[in-house]
Structure 1
Amino acid sequence: MKISAEQKLGNGNRVILVKRATPNSDSEREEYLFQELRELAKAAGYLPVGELKQTRYPDSKYQLGKGKIEELAELVRSIGADKVIFYNRLSTTQLFNISEICKCQVIDKFQLILEIFAKRATTHRSKLQVELARLRYEIPRARAVVSLAKKEERAGFMGLGDYEDSYEQDLKKRIARIESELESAEKDDESLRALRHKKGFSLISLAGYTNAGKSTLFNAIVSESVDVRNMLFTTLVPTTRALDLGGRKALLTDTVGFIEDLPHWLVDAFKSTLNEIFLSDLILLVVDANEKPEMILLKLATSHDTLWDRIQGVPIITVLNKVDLVDESRLDSIMEQIGYMAPNPVFVSAKKGIGMDVLKAEIVKHLPPWCFCSLSLPNSEEGMSILSWLYDEGIVHRVEFGEQIHVDYEARTEIVNKAHALLGPKEV
């Protein structure tokens, strides 16, 4: 294998990427998943200097065949790689066996994602979530980790039992402590959401497969500038901004992206962050329209699998982004293939600002409905105070001043009821 000048500048981050494919699996999809591994490695700051693939059913000791693992070990030596990263999930025993032969650190895709999350965690809560995910990943492996690391120190059969029990109990105590702290933060979030609803804000979340362009779309909708990079998991800490919808008050939140086959322990650890999506009034599900239909369907399926059991009937708008890169006939063909998985589709280019008005109109259409009402207010200081309040809490369409103030307005049901209650039985 040729080694480029760039590859010689590894600085301890030189990695070999490995993936085992199941016989009869789709070769195009397998290549796409390998490309995703490359992008994950890049996001974690690694420099891939070699790749290895094998098609076979998994080997219980090595994931790959023993001969392929020996080939991997030779590749590690010849290239001078610092680490090996497997796409496939590895058991503790497989990690140990492979690292023993390759004489370097070995991790799998899920450990790689944890590394990325740890690097991107900037708030106390996100750091707690990363730590919780790491502990939940480690807990089922705890006994095997200790046994393998200490196997040469065993005094006899099961000689490490007490130590293993102590290590596992320590992990469980740390998990319980972090869960308690995150539960407290979650209650604060629920109170904040309730307050925002009370103040008349509709809650909208951006969701979708990682690197679909959510942050770029966020910037285009709210005219802000949050971090946008062509890299997986750019957004880890949710960002919320006010959104102008022609009088309707809304808050838009940019959230962490999804990825195929995210394990439950990782989703659960980020529950308080993902609740920004699950408890929204409306979800904008963003996909990259410039990908092949098969890949779009794969990503839509992953997103729906993550959302479906938790959103309890929350409406979804499918935002097909990057349409500036797709000609109209191809877009029609794509929709024929993915339409059944793409509710309420809207076509935009966040980068070019195309389709923003259409998207906002579709958002208003799917927000919780407001009532249209008319009121007659006393032409007095009290009436002017109520009118001012209506301007704050809803959309005032018409005001006519005379002996009374006649108002046509639109607002949430609770605001309409409160306005009538303020006027009492004299209101007509």
Structure 2
Amino acid sequence: MKRAILVKRNDPRSEDYENELQMTELEELAGSAAYTIVAELTQTRHPDRKYQVGRGKVEELAQLVQDVHADKVIFHNPLSTMQVYNISEICRCEVIDKFQLILEIFATRATTHRSKLQVELARLEYELPKARAIISILKKEERPGFMGLGGYEDSYAQDVKNRISRIKDELKDVERDRDSLRSFRHSKGFSLVVLAGYTNAGKSTLFNLLVDESRTVRNMLFTTLVPTTRSLDVEGREVLLTDTVGFIEDLPHWMVDAFRSTLNEIFFADIVLLVVDSSEPLEKIRRKLLVSHETMWEQLQEVEIVTVFNKSDLLTEEELDERMLSLGYLAPNPVAVSSRTGFGIKSLKQEIRKHLPRWDRIQLSLPLSEEGMSMLSWLFDEGVIHGVDYSDSIDIDLEARENILNKARSFALKK
């Protein structure tokens, strides 16, 4: 296991609870990247241009690196290239910030060609603004492996821009294929439902319970990097349920842009199941809901949101009611569930059913014949049959999308 020291500079105007939540998130990220946290260091001050924290605090950090034999220093605060260089010169070990740590995690979880392209795009978007400083440092002193970049020529910045352009073009091609698949699914009557929310809220466990499938579920951040879609029956309506990558606070625009095609799984949905861990402190849930809404808001004006208060088995009924009431303005259509015990799953399916795109419901009669039975079998696959009565004809109570109803009407007995 790699040994890491976590460092955070607190803004003098920030609240204590906010700083605690941010440090906890950094701890979870480091754990997800398989680091052993051997020490933590904080300082409250305005940012130092050369070191982010004060020079004295960096010297204290350098001594701590020696004392605990740390392999890496991880800052919560975004670091400039010069700050990384200056701190690493004093501490004599690798120094990264939170966003580089996230990229490390994404790189280890990327398993498909698309996700690997997305990770590389995010890394290059991160490096591009720093290219000039990196080249300046490399010219000043040869530092093999500095920032993981190795030795680069002055053409490095242009090479990065060219590679970014090529990756974006390739991702556009992939996305066109996915858009065609979404359109095909919609044309076949499938409604699209996605699980979204802050990372580590229990989305993958809930997904497994809903679709009766075993997927990797670990108590760490970003276990889902590649969206997975499965069929789900919701009170007779078949929908496609997708598990997506989790949100996280303060993701920079370059990282959001790099994973835009993953987020599009959310933006193209008919219903978003916004999952939160209801067992966390109220203020923490509030912040995570805000992050989730900020990430989705621009493109979800017309999409129905169902807020899923997961892990409700860890609270009393009174605690759960209090939280759902306090967070009502951030939690539309709330449903309490436990993906561990199965509590609330029936209520969740009922809520999903209520918000699915509307299908019309009609009564009609089919001929009592081999062709009529064949049509009935097809309608069972394509719609919802609420009732069937066999007499001189096959009388059915049918709910379906418009093109299915039109086909059924064309075959029905005229009255």
TM-score, structure 2 as length reference: 0.94
The superposition leaves residues 144-195 of structure 1 with CA deviations (integer Å, 9 ceiling, x where unpaired) of 1111121258xxxxxxxx943x211111111111111111111111111112
Which residue pairs with 1:288 in the alignment?
Answer: 277
Which residue pairs with 1:187 in the alignment?
Answer: 176
Aligned counterpart in structure 2 of residue 312 of structure 1, from 298, 301, 314? 301
Distance 1:427 1:41 in 2: 69
CA contact (8 A) 2:249 2:291 kept: yes
CA contact (8 A) 1:288 1:322 kept: yes
Q: Which amino acid aligns with 2:58?
A: I
Q: Which amino acid aligns with 1:247?
A: G
Alignment map for 1:201-220 (pairs within 5 Å): 201-220=190-209
Is the counterpart of residue 232 in structure 1 residue 221 in structure 2?
yes
How far did 1:32 drift? 1.7
How far did 1:36 drift? 1.1
Alignment map for 1:70-219 (pairs within 5 Å): 70-152=59-141, 163-164=153-154, 166-219=155-208
How far did 1:384 drift? 3.1
Is the counterpart of residue 50 in structure 1 residue 30 in structure 2?
no
How far did 1:71 drift? 0.9
CA contact (8 A) 1:210 1:232 kept: yes
Which residue pairs with 2:387 in the alignment?
Answer: 398
Which residue pairs with 2:146 in the alignment?
Answer: none
Aligned counterpart in structure 2 of residue 39 of structure 1, from 8, 28, 51? 28
Distance 1:405 1:264 in 2: 58
- Residue segments in structure 2 that go unaligned for 5+ positions in a row: 143-151
Distance 1:91 1:418 in 2: 63
Aligned counterpart in structure 2 of residue 360 of structure 1, from 331, 343, 349? 349
Q: Which amino acid aligns with 1:400?
A: D
Aligned counterpart in structure 1 of residue 233 of structure 2, from 236, 239, 244? 244
Q: Which amino acid aligns with 2:167?
A: I
How far did 1:403 drift? 4.1
CA contact (8 A) 2:235 2:350 kept: no
CA contact (8 A) 1:377 1:427 kept: no
Q: Which amino acid aligns with 2:384?
A: I
How far did 1:427 drift? 4.0
SS of the residue 2:157 aligns to: helix
Which residue pairs with 1:339 in the alignment?
Answer: 328
SS of the residue 2:216 aligns to: coil
Identity within the alignment, %: 63
How far did 1:133 drift? 0.7
Distance 2:169 2:135 in 1: 27
SS of the residue 1:232 aligns to: coil
How far did 1:205 drift? 0.4
CA contact (8 A) 2:324 2:334 kept: no
How far did 1:414 drift? 2.7
TM-score, structure 1 as length reference: 0.91
How far did 1:398 drift? 2.2
Distance 1:280 1:30 in 2: 34
The superposition leaves residues 10-33 of structure 1 with CA deviations (integer Å, 9 ceiling, x where unpaired) of 5xx111100011113111221121
Q: Which amino acid aligns with 2:27?
A: R
Aligned counterpart in structure 2 of residue 370 of structure 1, from 359, 366, 370? 359
SS of the residue 2:299 aligns to: coil
How far did 1:227 drift? 0.8
Distance 1:409 1:320 in 2: 34
CA contact (8 A) 1:69 1:98 kept: yes
CA contact (8 A) 1:212 1:288 kept: yes
Distance 2:201 2:191 in 1: 24
User: Deviating runs (4+, > 6 A) in structure 1?
Assistant: none
SS of the residue 1:75 aligns to: helix
SS of the residue 1:309 aligns to: helix
Is the counterpart of residue 22 in structure 1 residue 2 in structure 2?
no
SS of the residue 2:298 aligns to: coil
How far did 1:402 drift? 4.0
CA contact (8 A) 1:214 1:254 kept: yes
Distance 1:380 1:334 in 2: 57
Q: Which amino acid aligns with 2:29?
A: L
Aligned length: 406
Which residue pairs with 2:149 in the alignment?
Answer: none
Distance 2:138 2:355 in 1: 56
Of stretches 402-411 and 203-212 in structure 1, the one that deviates more from structure 2 is 402-411
Distance 2:60 2:387 in 1: 77
Distance 2:414 2:95 in 1: 74
Distance 1:405 1:112 in 2: 63
- Residue segments in structure 1 that go unaligned for 5+ positions in a row: 1-9, 154-161
The superposition leaves residues 15-60 of structure 1 with CA deviations (integer Å, 9 ceiling, x where unpaired) of 1100011113111221121111111111111111111100011111
Which residue pairs with 1:415 in the alignment?
Answer: 404
Tell me: CA distance 1:414–1:149, structure 2 relative to 1, closer, same or farther (3 Å): same
Q: Which amino acid aligns with 1:28?
A: Y
Q: Which amino acid aligns with 2:76?
A: Y
Which residue pairs with 1:265 in the alignment?
Answer: 254
